[in-house]
Amino acid sequence: MVSFSSLVVALVGIASSWAAPLEESPNANITERGPSNFVLGGHNAVRRAAINYNQDYTTGGDVVYTHSNTGFAVNWSYPNDFVVGVGWNPGGSAPINFSGNFGVGSGVGLLSVYGWSTNPLVEYYVVEDNFGFSSGGTVKGSVTSDGSSYTIWENTRVNEPSIVGTATFNQYISIRNSKRSSGTVTVANHFNAWKSLGMNLGTMNYQVIAVEGWGGQGGVQQTVSN
């Protein structure tokens, strides 16, 4: 997210990405969202042959997170911003399958394809399910994919946590209008839609199915595959 990094002062703050938070981090000493993450296994020459990346970013509060090479589970109670999930490094445009539940009863929560690119530095989200935030930022357009329309937002984060430390960067956010906790995300459709709107990505960094949240209580369990 690196800044629930982060939809968000855009999504909640202008009231955001996925890990700089969508909301301003409550811990001013945290300047990076990424270097402490670790790879689950060696990089595979075949795209998405196996999950090889774990995202585990928390800034305080009660967050219990477990993961494997097939998915993850997380439960939380009144935490500060966190972004957790599993996926690939580097990311790409291939479809991603996810299956499970999204149980958020209070606070703010997002279930997304979440990732970063460099040159330009961009934090991006394809939000499949969410709870508790009001849309904000700049609406750029829409795209229809995987049985639903998505509203496309762009937001600029200034001096916020990122995968390269404190930085200024753009967020690209597709928000699904028909929420779901299981399905296939045709990632290329979003990348292409963003590009058509002048929202260009750079070199792919990590890409995960992630849960981001802050405040409130919730629990999510997801199986992730190519």
Distance of CA 172 to the CA centre of its chain: 10
Q: Nearest 5 degrees, angle CA 206-CA 70-CA 173?
A: 40
- Dist CA 222 CA 226 (whole Å): 13
- Give me the helices (H) in the chain, please: 7-8, 187-196
The pLDDT value recorded for residue 63 is: 96
The DSSP 8-state label assigned to residue 10 in this structure reads I
Q: Which residues of the chain have pLDDT under 50?
A: 1-47
Summarised one tens digit per residue, pLDDT across range 159-210 is 999 999 999 999 999 999 999 999 999 999 999 999 999 999 999 999 999 9
Listed in order, strand segments (DSSP E) in 14-95 are 38-39, 53-58, 62-67, 71-77, 82-88
Looking at residue 125, its pLDDT comes to: 97
**Whole-number pLDDT of residue 75:** 97
What distance in Å separates the CA atoms of residue 98 and residue 170, rounded to the nearest whole number?
26
CA dist 168 and 196 (Å) reads 23
The pLDDT of residue 16 = 37
Residue 49 is predicted with a pLDDT of 59
Q: Is 212 a catalytic residue?
A: yes
Say what the pLDDT of residue 137 is.
86
154 counts as catalytic: no
Residue of 123, 128, 154, 160 with catalytic role: 123
pLDDT of residue 158: 95
For each of the domains in the chain, give its residue range(s) and CATH number, in order of start.
7-225 (2.60.120.180)
Q: What pLDDT score does 135 carry? A: 63
